[in-house]
Amino acid sequence: MDVSNINKLFNQDLSAVNLGLESFAENLRNEGVKAVQVQWKPPAGGNKEIAELLDKLDTIRKKVDVDAANKKAAEIINNGKPTVIDISTAGKAIPGMRKNLVLHAGPPVEWERMSGPTRGAVIGGLVYEGLASSYEEAEKMAASGEIDFEPCHHHSTVGPMAGIVTYSMPVWVLENKAYGNKAYATLNEGLGKVLRYGAYGDEVLERLKWMESDLAPILKKALDLHGELDMKNIIAQILQMGDEGHNRNRAGTSIIIRELAPYLVQLDEPKEKIVKVFEFLNANDHFFLNLSMPSAKCIIDAAAGIEGSTIVTTMARNGTDFGIRMSCTGDQWFTAPAPKVEGLYLPGYTEDDAALDIGDSTITETVGIGGFAMAAAPAIVKFVGGTPKDALNVTTRMYEITETENKIFQIPALDFRGTPTGIDILKIIETGILPAVNTGIAHKTPGIGMVGAGLVKPPEKCFNDAFKAFVEKYS
Amino acid sequence: MKRVLVEKDSYYDSVFLMLINREVQQIEGVTDAVVSMGTDVNVTLLKETGLADSEIEGVTPNDLIVAVEGESEEVVEAAIAKAKELLDKKSSSEDEGENYKPSSLEGALKVSPDANLAIISLPGEFAPREVKKALNKGLHVMLFSDNVSVESEIELKNIAKEKGLLMMGPDCGTAIINGKPLCFANVVRPGDIGVVGASGTGLQEITCAIEKFGGGITQGIGTGGRDLKNAAIGGTMMLMGIEALKNDDATKVIVVVSKPPADEVAVKVIDALRKTGKPSVIHFIGMEPGEQEGNLYFAGNLEEASGMAVALSKGEKYEKRTYTIDRAEIDAIIERETKNMSAKQKYIRGLYTGGTLADEALIMFDREIGGIYSNNQSKEEFIPPDPNKSIKHTIVDLGDDVYTVGRPHPMIDPSTREDRIKIEAEDEEMAVMLLDIVLGYGSHPDPAGAILDSLKDAKKKAESRGGYLSIVTSITGTEGDFQSIHETKNKLESIGCVVMPSNYQASTLALEIMRKVEK
């Protein structure tokens, strides 16, 4: 009988982890022993059915090497090298894009079930595209069945808030240089009355038209002169400049301006046009969001479809449903009704004005930035509920549900620890910890725009269902 | 007037909630209150009592329920407010320094990579999974939880054995590792005696007595109560503990304590001790001690096990004795305690918080007087049908499950015993009340003080009936315990309790008093 580990313990300082009655830990601390208290919760948030399935894990692990699969997925995420290679249009660049197709954020949803902001953006998009001549006509057309609706995510694309993408819209084209896959997103329209918040007035469409005719071509020329943008490097920088890449994009936007400015001023374009481009970029702190999102998409798509992997590859909402996808089940969505956002409201708005959670921007959290990197963005902790210490705790908690730490994306306040990377469904189920997501809040009525920002608690059901599907698949 | 509050996603420890529950129930005007997690058992209970109904549809074990019934709306409001305040107290103390609290064992290991021990006191249905995780991470485990199946215990101990790790428990209340008291344990001087015990309060009584006799300990390893009793478990942890103490240079003397083991297990344990070559003291509670054989010494009671071990540690000869107090003094005490008793007073009532201490008394009385009623009785006909009602001679273990449903263990919450004392006080046939007072970590901050009024009252009631109630106690504790052992003794003596140096001596004295009463 080998008990050398026990004899080793006799010669070590005791260091305890306490699960249960906290006074046991306090007593040890009284005696000078290090004791860490675990804030334990029943697995799967107390869901019995799910907790029982957890017992099958031992058997499943014998059939499929989940740990190796997740390690592989995490490695792919870590290796991802998102790079901006072009600015094009949706019609030209996005695979499967066609005239009568409208892409939207989140899991699949038909017109009848679409949220206010999504409908508003669809109406605006159809008029912008010239498919309808009036907003009324657009609404009828959308309901008629003439128009196809598909999630951005089905086309390697991501869109913030309503996430509407139509044929003529300019898009960023990114390539994951490590794995060759591409990702797309429109250019960010700015704040206020914008299509992504469901606004569709003339002012909105004029701006979209200007983006198509002026902004995108000019930026493309500047980009061509500059050469490809290494987004991995830029995201690493912004995390050290107070951004987290979802709700704070000020540093990222500044870097993009800095990168492109020397080339923008070289362009053979009328001065007023260049000035307008600069003014537009400068006025919109979130310009970078439409780069951080496709960067994240580009990174995570390479980790989809790995046999046995329980890593989350998508979290997305459409204002009606919250949906996730898991690596080993590929394209299958696990959805639940979209939750409310707990947040702070802009003056004049209240919770009653808020649409339900919406947008593909949770792709940032999916790769470990955004809410997962809250510790990097102390400036916005008030917006999402507290003190800088809270922000550190949010990020620290996410390490409990992730497979690894990012090698390049680091957080200064955590002593340059890598961001929590590779959300593992099994860890979510076992710990009952849900991914930390922060987000903007749209007005529920189409056409009004952003009314606040805050924190979202993703529905447990999505993760429970994914876990059930995993167990079923490998039992 | 009823009100039910459900807080989703708010898990609290059940013992913590039981203490809050009691405070809320004690609010004036509150007729009934339940503060609990939404487990199936609790939900059924709430519905059966009518305290809650549709309000608790769909709650999970992760949801907190506060249900209050009171005389008026104000009372109910106040009670709910009080419950919230008490619950918040926990979260505020947890947030102290706002430091990160991990939510999982894995998370804790990231915070504390040098961790080498997991203490687990979660509900029994959840505990094994966490134990398995801890063992697989190479942590030694103390499993305080009960309600863990024998199958689980075997599986967990097999993993522990394979990895050479401690898996103390389930239902392991006491351990001292590297001199540090774990869960219910006393601050005992370091020394050269190593103890392995399958009994919590037995381990406490032995380690405290070792200190009292001038010795000290290296380790106090708990095994859980079934380790030796159940042949399938086969004394796995006991044998591993013995092996570790054998290899431990600091340990010169080994003490083993357990309830009577399965025969084949006893053989293995004795054989293992023989092979250590170290002087070893064995006490199987309730079994007649065998003759010394080589390095093996057999003790007849818990205190004797300590006395023998200390003598062996010091190279002295152990003098067998019953009392450590002069016989003359004992006689004087017996005289004093019996002279005012009435003819109606005939019975012993032992009200114990420590299971092994209760057993020690029960077995002695059963052997010497016979026919002792107890929830711990092995003879079925002497298990009282109503556990809350004494019959003739009764010695109860109030820490037993039959008394602790929905209440914390009486060592944490003395009110269980206080209530029982009040009931016994009305019984004119009670002659002697025999009690244990267990100090140390885990125990109530003032276990004697908490029952003092009820004891005083019981004595007064006996007097008013023209009799005299003799209360005989012992204190399991050391000078190092945070509850002052001296003050505890003074409090008890101030109201006329006899405080003996050990449970064995207290039980023996109570027995002598009873014998005199019987004459």
What is the per-residue pLDDT across A162-179, written as a single tens digit (0 to 9) for each?
999 999 999 999 999 999
- Picking from A236-240, B54-58, B118-122, B212-216, which range would have the lowest pLDDT averaged per residue? B54-58
CB contact under 8 A, B247 and A7: yes
pLDDT at B91 over 50: no
How far apart CA A433 and CA A435 sit, in angstroms, is 7
pLDDT at B95 over 60: no
pLDDT at A4 over 90: yes
**CB count, 10 Å around CB of A54?**
16
pLDDT tens for A382-414 read 765 678 888 898 999 999 999 999 999 999 999
CB contact under 8 A, A24 and B144: yes
Which structure tokens are listed for A320? 């009606």
Q: Which residues of chain A neighbour B441 with C-beta distances below 8 Å? A: 27, 30
How far apart CA B487 and CA B447 sit, in angstroms, is 11
Distance (Å) from the alpha carbon of B344 to chain A's nearest alpha carbon: 45
Q: Is the pTM of this model over 0.80?
A: yes
CB contact under 8 A, B98 and A22: no
Distance (Å) from the alpha carbon of B498 to chain A's nearest alpha carbon: 30
Ramachandran sector of residue A202 (left: φ over 0; alpha: ψ -120 to 50; beta: rest) = alpha
Instruction: Verify cis geometry, omega within 30 degrees of 0, for the bond prior to B113.
Output: no
CB contact under 8 A, B107 and A400: yes
How far apart CA A238 and CA B192 sit, in angstroms, is 60
Q: Which residues of chain B neighbour A4 with C-beta distances below 8 Å? A: 164, 247
pLDDT tens for A185-228 read 999 999 878 999 998 989 999 999 999 999 999 999 999 999 99
How far apart CA B227 and CA B153 sit, in angstroms, is 9
A17, A21, A24 ranked by CB distance to B112: nearest? A17
Q: Residues of chain A with pLDDT > 70: what percent?
A: 99
User: How far lies B238's CA from each of A1, B252, B259, in Å?
Assistant: 12, 17, 12
Q: Residues of chain B with pLDDT > 90: what percent?
A: 78
Suggest the residue from B13, B36, B100 to mutate for an interface test with chain A (most A CBs closer than 10 A). B100
CB contact under 8 A, A2 and B180: no
Q: Which residue has the tokens 């601390």?
A: A29
Mean pLDDT of A93-110: 98
Suggest the residue from A2, A4, A8, A10 to mutate for an interface test with chain B (most B CBs closer than 10 A). A10
CB contact under 8 A, A400 and B102: yes
Q: Indicate the SS3 state at residue A243.
A: coil
So what's the pLDDT on residue B93?
40
So what's the pLDDT on residue B146?
87
Suggest the residue from B39, B103, B413 to mutate for an interface test with chain A (most A CBs closer than 10 A). B103
Which structure tokens are listed for B205? 């009584």
Mean pLDDT of B371-376: 95
pLDDT tens for B36-60 read 888 887 888 888 888 888 888 888 8
Residue pairs spanning A and B at CB distance below 8 A: 197
CB contact under 8 A, B177 and A47: no
So what's the pLDDT on residue A37?
94
Crossing angle for the helix pair B503-518 and B302-314, nearest 10 degrees?
Answer: 140
CB neighbour class for A110 (10 Å; exposed up to 12, middle 13-18, buried from 19): exposed
A23, A390, A400 ranked by CB distance to B103: nearest? A400
pLDDT at B218 over 60: yes
**CB count, 10 Å around CB of B233?**
21
Q: For residue B331, give every residue at least 6 positions away whose Cβ sits within 8 Å of its Cβ, in sequence order, or none.
A: none
pLDDT tens for B53-82 read 888 888 888 889 999 999 999 999 999 998
pLDDT tens for A116-153 read 999 999 999 999 999 999 999 999 999 999 999 999 99
Q: Which residues of chain B neighbour A20 with C-beta distances below 8 Å? A: 13, 119-122, 144-145
How far apart CA B383 and CA A24 sit, in angstroms, is 33
